[in-house]
Amino acid sequence: MRRRAFIALVGSALLSAGVAGRALAQSPPRRVGVLMPYPRGEPEYDRRVRTLRQELATLGWTDGGDIVFDERWATDDMNRVRMEAQSLLASKPDVVVAISGRVDPVGVGWVESLARPGGNVTGFTFIELSMFGKMLEMLKQVAPTVARVMFIYNPDNRSAVYYRRSFETAAQALVIEPIVRPIHSFAEIERAVVEASGQRDAAVFFPPDVTVQTNRVEVAALIGRLRLPAIYSDSTFVRAGGLLYYGADRAELFRRAAGYVDRILRGEKAADLPFQQPTKYEFMINLKTARDLGLEVSPTLLALADAVVE
């Protein structure tokens, strides 16, 4: 049986599963599946998938010609995600690109190591653990009076234990009191944020997670109403009214993923393609939110921002 290629964006890595190469001239065209755990139509997620398509075109793959795409958009409902994944696989794609935030590829046995996967999965990490310290530094620069930060995370995320450990270590180094609250739903996020709002000089920190991401508009609005400084792990929060974002450039990862798709379709094996770290980071500030919170953003920090939302 032919092995398909799967590419997934996860909280710890962008993954790809290898496939035996076929002659490029062979019909029918190569099939690339895309599985996203978000509703279709959000401009930023559309942009990321569009980046994948455009880069593949640059690499010589003609959409509708020698390559076709099958996109499936879901939510953080894992039953829906599984259903869409099964349906996608039934269409017999050569490569699947997917995004998830709850997979440790080594821990679940998908790969032997990140340097040499050894199986049919590889990818690109969008979380480098030392970045949590950088995120806290950015938060402290914008909101210098912050003395305690609540880390709101979903324990269903297999990588959350590493996120939490790195956050606590970074917080202690910056003389910030770390407060940790597990959540599984927006109602639990709301309770945690309300608790944080009742504490003096408090702020909120959101590591990557699909549940939080899916509720980004509600989360940003809630924190805005309660007037809390917060830093997020995806730029979509800042566009929704959140204060700060620092992290890997997600569109850049989709572009690099296209390179792996190209190499796999041309016959290389995922087993020989190592997981890679981010090479490009983004820093975003919502200046309107900062002003609403009474925070002064220095010209130096504004100059460092890749994007400023007015």
150-169 CB burial, b ≥16 within 10 A, e <16 = bbbbbebbbbbebbbebbbe
Rounded to an integer, what distance in angstroms lies between the CA atom of residue 198 and that of residue 227?
Answer: 11
Q: Is the pLDDT of residue 1 over 70?
A: no
> pLDDT tens digits, residue range 132-174?
999 999 999 999 999 999 999 999 887 888 899 999 999 999 9
Percent above pLDDT 90 for the chain: 58
Give the pLDDT confidence score for residue 105 in this predicted structure: 63
Fold for the domain defined by 131-248+281-309: Rossmann fold (3.40.50)
- What's the pTM? 0.84
Measured CA to CA, the distance from residue 143 to residue 295 in angstroms comes to: 6
**CA separation (Å) from 126 to 12, 177, 234?**
6, 26, 10
Mean pLDDT rounded to a whole number for the chain: 86
Q: Stretch 1-17: mean pLDDT, rounded?
A: 51
**Residue that wins the pLDDT comparison between 15 and 302:** 302
Confidence of residue 307 (pLDDT cuts 50, 70, 90): very high
Q: Which fold has domain 5-126+250-272?
A: Rossmann fold (3.40.50)
Residues 72-108: tens digit of each pLDDT: 988 767 788 888 888 888 888 888 888 865 566 666 5
According to CATH, where is 3.40.50.2300 located in the chain?
A: 5-126+250-272, 131-248+281-309
Distance CA 85, CA 91 (A): 10
d(CA 151, CA 49): 29
Comparing CA positions, the residue from 87, 174, 92, 191 lying closest to residue 135 is: 174
Q: How much is the pLDDT for 99?
A: 80
Q: Of 205, 210, 211, nearest to 242 (Cα)? A: 205
Q: What is the pLDDT of residue 126?
A: 84
- Which pLDDT does position 80 carry in this prediction? 84
Structure tokens at 258: 């296209």
More confident residue, 40 or 20: 40
